[in-house]
């Protein structure tokens, strides 16, 4: 069976990358295969996860980042790009080249706590500061507006009294991100190979 060729862009721990790799193993992700991992951070633990899974990885950074990325994605025949904890905003030129072909996972219910400056733990700090009782995660297509593309999947997660940003981040990952991202990857990959 033909599969969509997926590149995953990462910057850090890579637990969402791991969820995708595990989903491929378990068959939750069956219409796509992860063939490339790209990090803008040479120290990202995500790179070790890629190596353990036998997936090619590359570190790209600096001002030439997007040009190098563009070349690599074309060389590897990539169909779908997944941003999994990727902490850099892609240019409008870049996103315009990949309409409905870039996915991102965001650790809140968009349109809350999203856009420029809302990434990683900062998102959960903002949710706790605001005192929301429910937060969650969103998987969406990426366009030129940070966190502004079409929403694909969302899942709500409860906030508990006494939560710290770290506790809330962990719950949102476990209950939402690691479930939604593989599901969305399968959904979009299936559409691509049709
Ligand atoms: C995840 O919570 C992801 O949703 C978030 O960073 C974390 C990365 O963790 N991404 C953003 O905030 C992007 N705006 P991971 O490296 O373990 O997947």
106 catalytic? Reply is yes
Digit-coded pLDDT (tens) for 113-162: 999 999 999 999 999 999 999 999 999 999 999 999 999 999 999 999 99
Ligand 1 binding pocket includes 126 (Cβ within 6 Å) = no
Full domain range(s) for residue 95:
4-193
Task: Concatenate the DSSP letters of all residues of 95-130 into one string.
Answer: HHTSTT-EEEEESS-TTSS-STT--THHHHHHHHHH
CA of 2 to the centre of ligand 1 (A): 29
Q: What is the pTM of this model?
A: 0.98
Indicate the SS3 state at residue 3: coil
Whole-angstrom Cα distance, residue 13 to residue 27?
23
What's the count of helices (H) and strands (E) in the chain, helices before strands?
A: 7, 7
Q: Alpha helices of 27-64 — where are they, by DSSP H? A: 46-52
Considering its fold, how many domains does the chain have in total? Answer: 1
| Euclidean distance between CA atoms 106 and 172, whole angstroms | 10
* Domain CATH for 62: 3.40.50.170
- As a whole number of angstroms, the distance between CA 32 and CA 16 comes to 16
CA of 47 to the centre of ligand 1 (A): 15
Structure tokens at 105: 């996972």
- Residue 1 — very low, low, confident or very high, per pLDDT cuts 50/70/90? confident
């Amino acid at each position: 069976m033909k599969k969509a060729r997926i590149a995953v862009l990462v910057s850090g721990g890579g637990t969402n990358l791991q969820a995708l790799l595990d989903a491929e193993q378990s068959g939750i992700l069956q219409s796509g295969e992860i063939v490339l991992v790209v990090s803008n951070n040479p120290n990202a633990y995500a790179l070790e996860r890629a190596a353990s899974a036998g997936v090619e990885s590359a570190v790209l950074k600096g001002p030439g980042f997007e040009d190098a990325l563009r070349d690599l994605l074309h060389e590897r025949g990539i169909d779908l790009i997944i941003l999994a904890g990727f902490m850099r905003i892609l240019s409008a030129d870049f996103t315009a080249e990949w309409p409905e072909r870039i996915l991102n996972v965001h650790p809140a219910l968009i349109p809350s706590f999203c856009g420029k400056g809302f990434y990683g733990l900062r998102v959960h700090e903002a949710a706790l500061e605001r005192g929301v009782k429910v937060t969650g995660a969103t998987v969406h297509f990426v366009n030129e507006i940070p966190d502004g593309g079409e929403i694909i999947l969302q899942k709500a997660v409860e906030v508990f009294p006494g939560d710290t940003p770290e506790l809330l981040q962990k719950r949102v990952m476990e209950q939402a991100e690691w479930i939604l991202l593989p599901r969305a990857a399968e959904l979009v990959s299936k559409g691509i190979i049709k």
